[in-house]
A = this chain, B = another copy of it.
Amino acid sequence: MTAVQPWSAAELAAWSNPRLAEVEAALSRWVGVQAPAGLGEAMRYSVLDGGKRLRPLLVLAASEAVQPLADAGARAGQTEAALRAACAVELIHAYSLVHDDLPCMDNDVLRRGKPTAHVQFGEAEALLAGDALQALAFELLVPDATNIPAAVQARLARLLAQAAGSQGMAGGQAIDLKSVGLRLDEAQLQQMHRLKTGALLQGSVQMGAACAGELPQAAVAALSDYGAALGLAFQVVDDILDVVADSQTLGKTVGKDAAADKPTYVSLLGLDGARARARALLDQALQALARSELPDTHALRALAHMVVDRDR
């Protein structure tokens, strides 16, 4: 095997920009449009024009990486399935932020450089907007009258439900709640983050792969390992940025983990140790891609680099 030349930042941008535009347009078309006025506005405010859209890009990159292996039945609907899955994971992410920002949770007032949803619309409206966004995420995955095979639809819904629920994101948030002021060891911290942020990032990769229908098990497993390593790396970098970035760059309140006495990778490993851990996880992710034996994983590789090298 010859070494694969990684993409430059410009090459990643050339790949991601048209895809980001497509996701943004789809979200704008699908979110809150036919909802009662106040609710629709809160849903759109919480989703549109904000965020890095990392999860949608992971869905699209994974779907494109497995496209050469797509089964015949799934091929006609694969592009639509990937766009729907990309939007669905973003809606789950967006709803989790809305609920996480509520006064009974993190009580945050700033998100993506804007007032949080409950500051803008009130707590009750924000709560409902989050609930409606979760329902919409699933609705997007199971459209009527489509080329997406029902088996692909059902699998996408299954992966999303597992990633979002009590053994995924919501479970990780519950562990997080209970861990304030505790001294977690690294295994406990990792378990919390594997659920809280890792499950949805890994789920994004798995859902992207599922858009192509039945695939060789080895490729699916390798992509899943990639997603797990990337998901953990994301959280390690988040912990680093919470210490070193400023609020303006980050678009949200910084230093809040330390202020809330929450365990982080920085408090556990120190800043240098956390940085080394992020590099090691990046290597794991890239090795998993190599194991997948997929012909073109440029975008997935570039996204992993982006996760670790980002400054916000």
Contact = CB atoms under 8 A, between A and B. Distances in A.
Interface of A: 32, 34-36, 38-40, 43, 95-96, 99, 102-105, 122-125, 127-128, 130-132, 134-136, 138-139, 141-144, 149-151, 153-155, 157-158, 160-162, 164-168, 170-171, 173-175, 177-178, 195
A170 B104 contact: no
A99 B127 CA distance: 8
6 contacts: A32-B166, A39-B166, A104-B127, A131-B131, A138-B157, A138-B160
Interface SS, A side: helix
A134 B132 contact: no
Given A34-B167, A167-B35, A174 B125 contact: yes
A220 to B, nearest CB: 13
Contacts of A144: 155, 158
Given A105-B127, A138-B138, A132 B166 contact: yes
A117 to B, nearest CB: 12
A124 B105 CA distance: 6
B132 A170 contact: yes
Contacts of A104: 102-103, 122-124, 127
Contact of A150 (B35, B138, B150, B171): B150
Given A141-B157, A157-B138, A171 B35 contact: yes
Candidate in A34, A150, A167 with the most chain B CB atoms within 10 angstroms: A167
A36 B128 contact: no
A175 B36 CA distance: 7
A143 B158 contact: yes
Nearest to A136: B165
A142 to B, nearest CB: 4
A131 B161 contact: no
Contacts of A35: 166-167, 171, 174
A165 B153 CA distance: 18
A103 B103 CA distance: 11
B154 A150 contact: yes
A151 to B, nearest CB: 4
